[in-house]
Amino acid sequence: MQMNNIIIGRLWRWFWRPSRRFSLGAIFIIGGIAGIILWGGFNTFMEFSNTLTFCTSCHEMEAIPYAEYKKSVHYKNASGVRVICSDCHVPKEWTAKLLRKMRATNELFHWMAGTIGTRDKFEAKRLELAEHVWASMKASDSRECRNCHIYEAMDFHKQSRRAARKMQQGIEEGKTCIECHKGIAHRLPEGYEDD
């Protein structure tokens, strides 16, 4: 027992003994504080990049997709519930959100390159952009839609007969939201043909 105390004491003194400039303990403390500050800053920016202000800060998004979204039921409706860009385009779960943000760097590249810098350029790429989003949503089983829309909470008796029938058919066939609900917040691309 006494030998253990001696060893622990020596390790403790070695840990805190100054090197030329800092002790190992001071380095860990400074590193820990720096890590907390960096992690906090990173998370703060991740959350800021999910705001409507950030999403519409470039001309391309404000002039075209945001203008369309403002005419949609997701922007203004009888219940007063509003979703923003990140509610549909960014996962809530942290790991999936981080992966989505990493993929967004490609979008930043195209923004800087001016790939969609004018209405004509945007319209020329609209189908390709939409298909990419639709494929992503289908692959995640429309995860972002399901953050708000839950089959078990739907009252089919309050839906129109056609909507209730189609919704129940979709559930039975195992369809995901985006397979039937394209063009909800944004205009469908020219040349898009529904199956």
Instruction: Give the chain's domain count.
Output: 1
Inter-residue contact 122 to 60 (CB < 8 Å): yes
- Residue 34: its pLDDT value, please? 92
- The CA distance from 145 to 61, in Å, is 21
| Phi and psi, residue 186, nearest 5° | -135, 150
SS3 content of the chain, % helix, strand, coil (to 5): 65, 0, 35
- Residue 33: its pLDDT value, please? 93
Task: Report yes or no on 42 lying in a domain.
Answer: no
- Residue 21: its pLDDT value, please? 64
| Inter-CA distances, 187 with 78, 84, 126, 147, 183, Å | 21, 16, 9, 22, 5
Taking the whole predicted model, whether its pTM rises above 0.95 is answered as no
| Identity of the residue numbered 101 | K
Inter-residue contact 144 to 88 (CB < 8 Å): yes
Task: Report yes or no on 18 lying in a domain.
Answer: no
Task: Report yes or no on 5 lying in a domain.
Answer: no
- Residue 139: its pLDDT value, please? 94
- The CA distance from 82 to 148, in Å, is 11
Task: Report yes or no on 164 lying in a domain.
Answer: yes
Tens of each residue's pLDDT in the chain, 195 residues = 677 778 777 777 766 666 666 667 777 888 889 999 999 999 999 999 999 999 888 878 888 899 999 999 999 988 888 999 999 999 999 999 999 999 888 888 888 888 888 889 989 999 998 999 999 999 999 999 999 998 889 899 999 999 999 999 999 999 999 999 998 889 899 888 775
Task: Report yes or no on 40 lying in a domain.
Answer: no
- Residue 12: its pLDDT value, please? 74
Task: Report yes or no on 21 lying in a domain.
Answer: no
Task: Report yes or no on 191 lying in a domain.
Answer: yes
Tell me the DSSP string of 92-103.
SSHHHHHHHHHH
| Inter-CA distances, 51 with 14, 23, 163, Å | 48, 43, 32
Range of the domain at 158: 59-195
DSSP 8-state class, residue 32: H
- Residue 108: its pLDDT value, please? 82
| Inter-CA distances, 21 with 9, 16, 31, 99, 186, Å | 22, 12, 15, 40, 59
Task: Report yes or no on 51 lying in a domain.
Answer: no
